[in-house]
Structure 1
Amino acid sequence: MRVDKVLSNMGYGTRTQIKKQMKKGIVTLNGEVIKKPGTLMNPDEDVLTYFGDEVEYREHIYLVMNKPQGLISATCDDEHLTIIDVLQPEDKVFSPFPVGRLDLDTEGIIFITNDGKFSYKFTSPNKRIDKVYYVEVAEDIEENYHEEFEKGIYFKEEDYRTLPAKLEVFEDDKKKCYLTIQEGKYHQVKRMFLHMGNEVTFLKRVKIADFELPEELEPGEYRELTEEEVEHLINLDK
């Protein structure tokens, strides 16, 4: 890989800016000063420094966020702040994007990455990854909800029936439940309850596959996934 590309990918500036800096002799490769931006290197083996600091190159970034209400699950939006807008500059340089989406007024766990294969694993309908939501609704959840959700709710506008969903209603409060689905249709959870004549008043995704929302993350906070967590998630159902 070209040295200027490595430095650019890691947020040290544009290719043009890096080219000018390299002429000053502030970049070294394996201890030798280099001034040619097109110099080739192996990021996994060679040691690159910039102004004396070693450059730790990596291709992908994997983050988990507790998305708050009011943020859009997108890379850019003309009306609302996005989850990318609130990332630190050192994370933005990787050009990450949200894995799937949560509605503007929905909270909870969402992955953010620049790894397309990782994203596909959790967004492709064919993968059938469980997503668990904590739901509060306006009216009590009746017994017939279980059967209806298990056989799938028919969305007439799209001529589509949802995959079987699992409903776990709180014993002490029939207006609260956990709902497990395997899709991500537009406003799906809200529309499923609306089909039953009920309205969702609060919605929070708490789990993706077997990965639960980290307890230490307050709404709006995020952290990097550990290497072990990334490996586990990548290898799910292989």
Structure 2
Amino acid sequence: MKKTQRLDKILAHTGFGTRSEIKNLVKRGIVEVNGKIAKDSGLQVNPEIDRITVDGESALFREFVYLMLNKPQGVVSATEDTRDRTVLDLLDESYGHFDMFPVGRLDKDTEGLLLLSNDGKLAHNLLSPKKHVPKTYFAIVEGPEAVGDGDAAAFRQGVTLDDGYVTMPAELKVLKTEETNTPVRSEIELTIMEGKFHQVKRMFQAVGKKVVFLKRLTMGPLTLDPGLTAGQYRELTETELEALKEGR
């Protein structure tokens, strides 16, 4: 982060309005830097050292924000979309000035853990194919037979997807099987080390089965907070953020 930044940019990042609104606040003489009335909204200040107040209220600057979202079905993992609601549409307007984006993506009909941030460096590290960040999913799978040891063995070896790509080894755990109906329905957990397009669905397709429900539970060291219902979010704790940055 640069040591000094424009006053209006800092105040925009702390939720005091748009650049033009902040310019008006400065004109009204209610913005102070270190106890002195600011005359210019473009004044260069250091948010780590200088004390900035607006009508007596302190402006607490922070450059980056990290949110854990329990993404609901029907919402797309994008910053904007002409047809569907995006994950950013779920956020309170107080986060509007942070230029947030989803770190990675979940399909429109997939729910669960999604990280939202404005930290491009962290996002790059998490999404880099070289990092092999583990991700665990819960899924309901249907097929002519139950998900079993044969599928688990195939996934440990890596399966060939419809485009010829061979996946990295993945860990499959069967939680529950209902064999009274046709097709047979199984509940599973699957941990993968990569994130190809529709990968979980295509992996089961490769073994003759179909995913009918999918939810992401973990991403690296992050585990979806069970207290978050679909559509709810919260900021990461310091412990979670530290673990994420250290890649634990």
TM-score by length of 1: 0.94
* CA distance in structure 2 between the partners assigned to 1:209 and 1:34 by the alignment: 45
Please report how far the alpha carbon of residue 176 of structure 1 lies from its aligned counterpart in structure 2 after TM superposition.
Answer: 1.1
The residue number in structure 2 matching 1:170 is: 175
CA root-mean-square deviation: 1.5
* CA distance in structure 1 between the partners assigned to 2:109 and 2:120 by the alignment: 26
Give the total of aligned pairs: 236
Q: Does 2:236 correspond to 1:225?
A: yes
One-letter amino acid matched to 1:131: K
Please report how far the alpha carbon of residue 51 of structure 1 lies from its aligned counterpart in structure 2 after TM superposition.
Answer: 2.1
The residue number in structure 1 matching 2:158 is: 152
One-letter amino acid matched to 2:170: A
The residue number in structure 2 matching 1:77 is: 81
Please report how far the alpha carbon of residue 160 of structure 1 lies from its aligned counterpart in structure 2 after TM superposition.
Answer: 1.8
Please report how far the alpha carbon of residue 43 of structure 1 lies from its aligned counterpart in structure 2 after TM superposition.
Answer: 0.4
Q: Does 2:45 correspond to 1:41?
A: yes
Please report how far the alpha carbon of residue 172 of structure 1 lies from its aligned counterpart in structure 2 after TM superposition.
Answer: 5.5
Structure 1 residue runs without a partner (length 5+): none
Query: Which structure 2 residues correspond to residues 57-206 of structure 1 after superposition, within 5 A?
Result: 57-139=61-143, 140-157=146-163, 159-170=164-175, 175-206=186-217
Query: Do the aligned residues in 2 keep the contact of 1:106 with 1:204 (CA within 8 Å)?
Result: yes
* CA distance in structure 2 between the partners assigned to 1:108 and 1:10 by the alignment: 29
* CA distance in structure 2 between the partners assigned to 1:206 and 1:156 by the alignment: 25
- Greater CA drift, 171-180 or 222-231: 171-180
Q: Deviations over 1:108-152 (max 9, x none)?
A: 111000001111222111111110000111131132211221121
One-letter amino acid matched to 2:200: V
Query: Do the aligned residues in 2 keep the contact of 1:70 with 1:104 (CA within 8 Å)?
Result: yes
Q: Percent identity?
A: 42
* CA distance in structure 2 between the partners assigned to 1:216 and 1:116 by the alignment: 27
TM-score by length of 2: 0.90
Query: Do the aligned residues in 2 keep the contact of 1:125 with 1:182 (CA within 8 Å)?
Result: no
